[in-house]
Structure 1
Amino acid sequence: MNTHRPDETPDERADRNFGDVLQELRVTQTGVQILFAFLLTLPLQSRFETLDEWERDIYVASLLLSAVATICLIAPVAYHRAMFARHKKPKVVEVASRFAVGGLFFLALAICCAVDLVLDLVLGRGVALGIAGLLGTLILLTWAAFPLLERTGENQRGPGDH
């Protein structure tokens, strides 16, 4: 999708693009916060004491990756507040987009680790690692490869081509 509309000013474009980023962040923030909250409660469960070293390491990785994803996905709000009324909306949009990409990266890793942890307990280590690897591949394909291929294809087509 082209981010430039001939009927809008640069300020209007920046406002529209920032609105788009905020909407995307609303979707991802909910998911990462639920995952983070779930992980924060795990040590309070009685079965947590039975985890082996691998499972505890995966738990710690999941928790920390979820925390970093949460930080990245909330950071655009803090950055916007710091830059408010400074007439830097295009820069705010650029920074927010970078934080969103970083947040998605850490969220993808957190999802894979959390799924590995749970499946390790339910199905065993080998199956858990295999499924977590498949999930990681699916995330890579759907969140990165497919959009980038679409973007590349869009750049090769002329305006109005579908």
Structure 2
Amino acid sequence: MATNGGKDPRRDAVSDGRDETEAERADRRWTELLQELRVAQTGMQILFGFLLAVVFQPRFTELNDVDHTIFVITVAFGAATVGALVGPVSLHRLVSGKGLKPETVALASRMTLIGLVLLFCTMVLVFLLILRVALHDSLAFWLVAGMGLWIAVWWFAIPVWARHRARGLSRR
């Protein structure tokens, strides 16, 4: 007779109250991560496609040196973002079946977070380039700063606050 109250010894309780094995938890977290990646990858693919098409537009040659530099930096950030957001897929494919699912999920999660930071930078730079071309004045900088702050609050500050708050609640 089991002395652990009849529970399956292969299962461990997780702080969120789920009764799942480490492998089940890794599978669930991987599925959740894939859903998040689909959203980020789709947005980045559209944005990167736009960036790649810009250089072939007739007005591109009219941009001044500063705007050309902003464009090149933006494309570099865009390429880095694609690399970071596709990285988890490559990682999974290369280590699949090797018994490394929990480690893969943890590393892929970090790669995704890096990809989101890079996506944030890419979006801010795209917005800067567009507004510099559209407005031709210093108002572009202030609008970009405000929008960058707005996005940073929603993407980073609120999740960090929620995480901190959840830790505080779990200690009670």
Q: TM-score, normalised by structure 2?
A: 0.88
Secondary structure in 1 matching 2:144 = helix
1:6 aligns to 2:35 (yes or no)? no
Paired position in structure 2 for 1:116: 128
Q: What does residue range 1-162 of structure 1 map to in structure 2 within 5 Å?
A: 4-158=16-170
Count of residues in Structure 1 that have an aligned counterpart in Structure 2:
159
**Distance of 1:153 and 1:144 partners within structure 2:** 14
Secondary structure in 2 matching 1:157 = helix
Deviation at 1:3, TM superposition (A): 7.0
Q: Is the 8 A contact 1:15 1:89 kept in 2?
A: yes
Q: Is the 8 A contact 1:18 1:93 kept in 2?
A: yes
TM-superposition CA deviations, 1:64-114 (whole Å, max 9, x none): 111100110000000001101001000110111011011001100100010
* Paired letter, 2:62: T
Q: TM-score, normalised by structure 1?
A: 0.93
RMSD of aligned alpha carbons: 1.6
Q: Is the 8 A contact 1:3 1:13 kept in 2?
A: no
Paired position in structure 1 for 2:8: none
* Paired letter, 2:107: V
**Distance of 2:27 and 2:157 partners within structure 1:** 28
Deviation at 1:17, TM superposition (A): 0.3
TM-superposition CA deviations, 1:26-64 (whole Å, max 9, x none): 000000111100000111110000000110011111111
Deviation at 1:158, TM superposition (A): 3.8
**Distance of 1:155 and 1:146 partners within structure 2:** 14
Larger Rg: 2
**Distance of 1:34 and 1:153 partners within structure 2:** 35
Secondary structure in 1 matching 2:33 = helix
What is the aligned-residue identity percentage? 35
Query: Which one has a larger percent helix, Structure 1 or Structure 2?
Result: 1
Structure 2: state its 5+ residue gaps.
1-13
